[in-house]
Amino acid sequence: MAINDHDSVIVLDFGAQYSQLIARRVRECGVYSQIVPYTISAEEVRKIAPKGIIFSGGPCSVPAEGSPRPDKDIFALGIPVLGICYGLQVMTEVLGGHVSSSGKKEYGLQNIDISDRTSELLADISDKSQVWMSHGDSVSALAPGFRVTASTPTCPFTVAEDRERKFYGVQFHPEVVHSVEGMKMIRSFVIDICKAEADWNMGSFVDDAVEEIRKIVGDKIVLCGLSGGVDSSVAAALIHKAIGDQLVCVFVNNGMLRKNEAESVIELFGKTFNMRLQYADAEKDFLEALKGVTEPEAKRKIIGKLFVDTFYREARKCGDVSFLAQGTLYPDVIESKSPSGGPSSTIKSHHNVGGLPEDLKWQLLEPLKELFKDEVRELGKELGLPDELVYRHPFPGPGLGVRCIGEVTKERLDTLRDIDAIFIEEIRKAGLYDKIWQALADLLPVKSVGVQGDERTYREVCTLRAVTSEDAMTADWYHMPYDVLQRTALRICNEVKGVNRVLYDVTSKPPATIEWE
């Protein structure tokens, strides 16, 4: 059964920052959801045949000239609609109601008063339930057929419904955690009102994806650039489950990997999963290319170009390749939409292997392109990948090359590998790893005087960094317990030759970035 055979609820995106979160909440109900542009036509919606439609919020003002509008014929399809914030307002305006600028914006928590206990949308919601408001305009006159079912002291039309046509609107954001019972409302809409079957899960996705991969690939060869990161590893495991030895993985060791990482990748994928693995030890090539280079962007470009060249060289050894597999995720697809609204079919720089020669004539195979990051991790577990890989922190493509501040040398990389290994080991032992979005160590091109044993030393300084985040757009420094920092610093100074001082970075993003380079 393919994805198109599952019940679905689509999200019409009006430019909201929470559109992806809405889709994820629907999927948490066990129902497949995809995001489509608000410009989608009613005919295109009819072909998708969703069980329900959700209009997202958005930054625009409905009364403003040129503000986004959906195709009015969507309302004639007989499909239930839920409008959230801007979605409620634009639905009201299109269907004959009125929206006005309130004169002041309303952000923050409110408690709703439910006036109609027969509402199916609010059936399981407590009176005075807390919701998150974020709007400037407000509905001032309901469209014909609608009635109010809940309000707040500052917003008389907080929830409005046209039950006959199954149109619903809320002037708050049920998808965010601040709306305490918001998930109940989304579930009521998706399951009770739309009557969608909750059969979307990782088990069914694996079955669907394996069937689809076999159908697309046939007897051809698929090439996958395996980095040891979450996305490429899960993609490789899924494709291997579908086509076995028709998959060839290329693993390039650029010398910038973490301690023992190359050995771990070879052991897991080459031996445990018994995949065809083309291993390229290119450490010397990368170190030679980086000799004397200290500028961060120059280092990134050198590492990126040499990686592509090395990957291409190894790919030519893999026979007659027809497909290039990549761990593209759903947010990548959304962000790389073409002007016509469809996903781009060319190899983009956000993919795992960008910049390959255009004359390769490989077709892209992107088996994760329907999934969000948390779903990819869940899929990895379903496929039997170890927790240490599935839940690993983000790691930059150029690897330790961007954490070795200043010139990159074999000696400095080895020093940084040891520092990094001790730091990660200590936060794991303390049970903190899964509470942290990203933990990293940087080696600084700065030396300081120290006393180690009976002698004075003049060695480099390292800095440790750990942050919490939801999406890496913003991040706060993690308030690491002092005893963990103390143990880590003591071990680094005792066990790592070349370092005699350990710092901890307490800068948030912004103003800093998560990585130093």
| Active-site pick, 6, 29, 161, 175 | 175
Count of C-beta atoms within a 10 Å radius of residue 188: 23
Active site residue 60: no
- Cis peptide preceding 339, ω within 30 of 0: no
Q: β-strands 476-477, 455-468: how paired?
A: antiparallel
Active site residue 393: no
Active site residue 85: yes
Taking a C-beta distance cutoff of 8 angstroms, is the pair 171, 155 a contact?
yes
Q: β-strands 455-468, 438-452: how paired?
A: antiparallel
User: Could you give the CA distance from residue 472 to residue 155 in angstroms, rounded to a whole number?
Assistant: 34
CA distances (Å), origin 434, targets 240, 329, 388, 424: 28, 22, 10, 11
Residue 357: closest CA among 402, 321, 399: 321
| Active-site pick, 173, 240, 249, 261 | 173
| Active-site pick, 29, 85, 155, 462 | 85
Across the chain, how many H-helices and E-strands are there? Answer: 14, 19
Taking a C-beta distance cutoff of 8 angstroms, is the pair 186, 193 a contact?
no
Taking a C-beta distance cutoff of 8 angstroms, is the pair 462, 499 a contact?
yes
**Residues 6+ positions from 291 with CB-CB distance below 8 Å:** 407
Residue 14: closest CA among 54, 53, 58: 58
| One-letter-per-residue 3-state SS of 1-32 | CCHHHCCEEEEEECCCCCHHHHHHHHHHCCCE
Residues in a beta bridge with 135? 106
Residue 193: closest CA among 83, 51, 49: 51
Taking a C-beta distance cutoff of 8 angstroms, is the pair 264, 295 a contact?
no
Please provide the DSSP assignment of 414-426 as one string. HHHHHHHHHHHHH
Location of structure tokens 């004639």:
76
Distance of CA 425 to the CA centre of its chain: 25
Taking a C-beta distance cutoff of 8 angstroms, is the pair 285, 324 a contact?
no
Taking a C-beta distance cutoff of 8 angstroms, is the pair 137, 171 a contact?
no
What tokens does 51 get? 């069980």
Active site residues: 85, 173, 175
